[in-house]
């Protein structure tokens, strides 16, 4: 039996998610927005019976068994941890810091019977699921290099807000880079142990953000990750990622894995491959022909991935009679909160590298830091 | 009047160059090869009247006024410097080290009336000439990012030789990266002041190179260059270059420049552009339809560039009556020996960065180092 859903957030993802949930048979009972107006507006638009700007009203809503959290990163941890504490299943977007991610991991470990997954939907895109399968089957032989490029228009919101502010979780690295970092660990089956990066904010002001306000979040980011074993100089997969959000009117999403025996390339939602020795590339998985809504803010790979994830959620919950019970199988590929912590740790290491100019180690937090430390670090970063 | 030509080298470039020279009306009088057989073979194949394995026989040949040097990098400096000393015009490929390049610069400065240009032909490709013109006209507005990708099959020769050996000038960075570094300084009008890079040799042995022999030259290289002013943190163009020569059966040559008002992309020999606000990319310069020979070892952008360079040489010499005189105009865009030194300096800085893991400064040599220093450095590098 499918659980009742409560949605946090009124942004573009929430707006897409609700119809997808409904199409799979989920009932969306409640929506939370920053203001009553925003919540009411979305509730009316999407036919959601209850709306509020008080988070507890959704978390404690008796018909809500699954909470979907699509709000600014700095608010995510608080809602996600509370939801788990109340006994609700959680699907959520990334948090703003590794400390927040660590607190979410602690909560998820404490309630292992509850579903707790990160909303990185690229893993669910059929092209990447097929790519991973082919990599496991050694289509490319020994993996050598992953090369990812995401180019698109500005990620900034119309008005000044968290998307403009690096410390609030804005910027290409945090927003889009996160999903790439997660995807690459999923595809290679390895995690980054050292990273190097360079961030830039080429557009610091625009027609809407001006005066004393400046954008601090990156619109260009470029990083390298050395995956897996720390041993030999040439060992391990090299990942290179280029993110450029100064390219209005374009959208490029390309993920290439090169190995000793061939290569695989996902362009948008399609998968191509070429084995060494063959004359040309073969189409391994074509575009399935997306029939859902087109969303300007959401590139097709993310949109189709979201749709596939909602289907997987439906299968996971359908397997059980009880509303809150779910089967692991259909969502086994979903990123856990532990994956979320890893991704956040890489993001922060890349940012450190961009400041220091050096390769930085990726060290996953294993205990919560001194609460004062966080403040000190923030102050220190502001100084730079 | 066109000068008589002497060619050093019997490799694929020499083999392409001779017919191109002849087609423009140059007479090729002499060819030098490592062995009498190799030289004789090429002379017979291409109808060159004189062949030898003694360099002086070409340099002192009375009909030779222009010397074209396409030999392994470690031998280039010696021939180029000697040719200038004898009073011959020189077109040559890159040397193996910055010290060699510096000696070539010294010779070129000493004989300013002689033509001395580096054989990096990408500058002559019409797509890049047009790209530079559009960049000057601010088609992309303020330049922000250059992104270059060159993918192709292995650069190794059939047999073990200098292409396998990093210290001999082998590897993707030295062979292909050089031409990209030169091109980017031509396009942006700026030079790199700091670089960061990562080199890998994924294929260390193959069917032909085995036993105790190992390839030390890179087959994957990835570097970033910060161009221009050393001032503000976000100032200056960021260049990112990815070279991957583990991709048999493919050839990708893509150079993209992104700016505040739009972008330009050269794919192979074609140039595309898109201004911010326009819906789609426009073809700015199509493929001219190459009618010359197809050469497996030489990608089309280099081949067409070589052809354009030979045409420019013809125009340069045709302008004057005297066989050895030439006009600067038609070859003004050609890379000088000073450019060659800059490129070599960047190459070595990227290699240092790959060892140190740190950003390295690009400091152009201004006086010849102590001759013993070179030996010490080579010994030290072998230790690592």
Residue A233 has pLDDT above 50, yes or no: no
ipTM (interface pTM): 0.85
Residue A234 has pLDDT above 80, yes or no: no
Q: Considering chain A, what is the average pLDDT of its residues?
A: 90
Give the span between the Cα atoms of B11 and B32, in whole angstroms: 11
Q: What are the residue ranges of helices labelled H in A163-318?
A: 172, 178-188, 300-318
Specify the pLDDT at position B84: 96
Q: Do A7 and A19 contact (CB within 8 A), yes or no?
A: no
B220 with A144: Cβ contact below 8 A? yes
DSSP classification of residue B339? H
Give the span between the Cα atoms of A97 and B343, in whole angstroms: 41
Chain A interface, mutation test: which of B238, B255, B282, B296, most A Cβ atoms within 10 Å? B238
Specify the pLDDT at position B373: 62
Specify the pLDDT at position A372: 67
Instruction: State the average pLDDT over residues A305-319.
Output: 93
Q: Do A263 and B265 contact (CB within 8 A), yes or no?
A: no
A240 with B222: Cβ contact below 8 A? yes
pTM: 0.90
Specify the pLDDT at position A272: 96
| Distant-in-sequence, close-in-space partners of A70: CB < 8 Å, separation ≥ 6 | A7, A8, A9, A11, A13, A14, A17, A92, A93, A119
Q: Which residues pair with A336 in a beta bridge?
A: A117
Give the pLDDT band (50/70/90) at residue A383: low
Q: Do A16 and A293 contact (CB within 8 A), yes or no?
A: yes
The H or E element that residue B6 is part of is strand B4-8
Q: How far is A377 from chain B (nearest CA, A)?
A: 21
Chain A interface, mutation test: which of B147, B166, B194, most A Cβ atoms within 10 Å? B147
Residue A380 has pLDDT above 70, yes or no: no
* Nearest-5° Cα angle at B198, B197 to B200: 150
Q: Sort out which chain B residues have CB atoms less than 8 A from A246's CB and list them.
A: 144-145, 258, 260
Backbone angles phi, psi at A241, to 5 degrees: -130, 125
Q: Do B6 and B64 contact (CB within 8 A), yes or no?
A: yes
Q: How far is A373 from chain B (nearest CA, A)?
A: 27
Give the span between the Cα atoms of B118 and B108, in whole angstroms: 11
Phi-psi region of B355 (alpha: psi -120 to 50; beta: other; left: phi over 0): alpha
Specify the pLDDT at position A137: 96
A357 with B196: Cβ contact below 8 A? yes
A279 with B249: Cβ contact below 8 A? yes
Q: Do A171 and A155 contact (CB within 8 A), yes or no?
A: yes
Q: Do B151 and B176 contact (CB within 8 A), yes or no?
A: no
User: Mean pLDDT, consecutive 10-residue segments, chain B of 384 residues?
Assistant: 93 92 96 95 95 96 96 94 96 94 96 94 95 96 95 82 82 93 96 94 81 85 86 71 90 94 95 92 87 77 93 92 85 95 96 94 88 65 60
- Name which residue leads in pLDDT, A338 or B206: A338
Residue B279: exposure state from Cβ atoms within 10 A (0-12, 13-18, ≥19)? exposed
Specify the pLDDT at position B207: 76
Give the span between the Cα atoms of A317 and A306, in whole angstroms: 17
Of B198, B224, B249, the CB nearest to A278: B249
Q: What is the pLDDT of residues A48-104, one digit of tens each?
A: 999 999 999 999 999 999 999 999 999 999 999 999 999 999 999 999 999 999 999
Specify the pLDDT at position B381: 67
Q: What is the pLDDT of residues A3-51, one digit of tens each?
A: 999 999 998 899 999 999 999 999 999 999 999 999 999 999 999 999 9
Specify the pLDDT at position B339: 97
The H or E element that residue B221 is part of is strand B220-227
Give the span between the Cα atoms of A180 and A185, in whole angstroms: 9
Specify the pLDDT at position A232: 43
| Distant-in-sequence, close-in-space partners of A342: CB < 8 Å, separation ≥ 6 | A181, A182, A185, A191, A362, A364
Rg (CA), chain B: 21
Instruction: State the average pLDDT over residues A254-278.
Output: 95
- The lowest-confidence range among A159-163, A273-277, B253-257 is A159-163
Q: Sort out which chain B residues have CB atoms less than 8 A from A220's CB and list them.
A: 144-145, 238
Give the pLDDT band (50/70/90) at residue A154: confident
Q: What secondary structure does DSSP assign to B136-204, as a single string? A: HTTTTSSEEEEEEEEE-S----SSSSGGG-GGGT-SHIIIIIHHHHHHHHHHHS--EEEEEEEEE-S--
Specify the pLDDT at position A231: 47
Q: What secondary structure does DSSP assign to A82-97, as a single string? A: HHHHHT-EEEE---SS
Give the pLDDT band (50/70/90) at residue A376: low
Size of chain B, expressed as the number of residues it contains: 384
């Amino acid at each position: 039996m499918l659980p009742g859903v409560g949605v946090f957030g009124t942004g573009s993802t929430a707006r897409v998610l609700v119809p997808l949930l409904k199409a799979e048979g989920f009932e969306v009972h409640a929506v939370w927005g920053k203001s009553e107006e925003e919540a009411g507006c979305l509730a009316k638009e999407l036919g959601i019976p209850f709306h509020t700007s008080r988070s507890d009203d959704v978390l404690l809503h008796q018909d809500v068994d699954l909470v979907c959290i699509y709000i600014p990163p700095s608010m995510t941890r608080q809602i996600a941890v509370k939801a788990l504490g109340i006994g609700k299943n959680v699907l959520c977007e990334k948090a703003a810091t590794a400390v927040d991610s660590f607190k979410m991991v602690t909560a998820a470990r404490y309630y292992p019977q509850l579903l707790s997954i990160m909303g990185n939907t690229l893993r669910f895109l059929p092209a990447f699921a097929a790519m991973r399968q082919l990599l496991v089957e050694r289509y490319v032989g020994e993996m050598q290099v992953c090369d990812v490029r995401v180019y698109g228009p500005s990620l900034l919101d119309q008005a000044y807000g968290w998307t403009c502010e690096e410390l609030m979780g804005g910027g290409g690295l945090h927003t889009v880079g996160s999903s790439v970092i997660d995807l690459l660990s999923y595809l290679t089956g390895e995690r980054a142990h050292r990273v190097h990066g360079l961030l830039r904010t080429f557009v610091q002001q625009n027609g809407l953000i001006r005066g004393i306000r400046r954008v601090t979040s990156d619109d260009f980011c470029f990083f390298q990750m050395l995956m897996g074993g720390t041993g030999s100089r040439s060992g391990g997969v090299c990942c290179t990622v280029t993110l450029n959000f100064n390219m209005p009117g374009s959208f490029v999403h390309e993920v290439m894995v090169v190995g000793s025996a061939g290569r695989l390339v996902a362009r948008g939602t399609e998968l191509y491959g070429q084995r060494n020795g063959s004359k040309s590339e073969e189409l391994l998985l074509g575009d399935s022909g997306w029939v859902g809504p087109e969303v300007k803010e959401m590139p097709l790979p993310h949109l189709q991935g979201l749709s596939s994830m909602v289907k997987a959620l439906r299968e996971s919950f359908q397997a059980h009679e009880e509303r809150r019970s779910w089967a692991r199988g259909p969502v086994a590929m979903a990123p856990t909160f532990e994956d979320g912590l890893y991704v956040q740790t890489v993001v922060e290491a890349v940012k450190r590298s961009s400041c220091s100019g050096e390769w930085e180690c990726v060290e996953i937090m294993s205990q919560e830091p001194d609460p004062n430390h966080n403040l000190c670090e923030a102050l220190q970063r502001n100084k730079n």
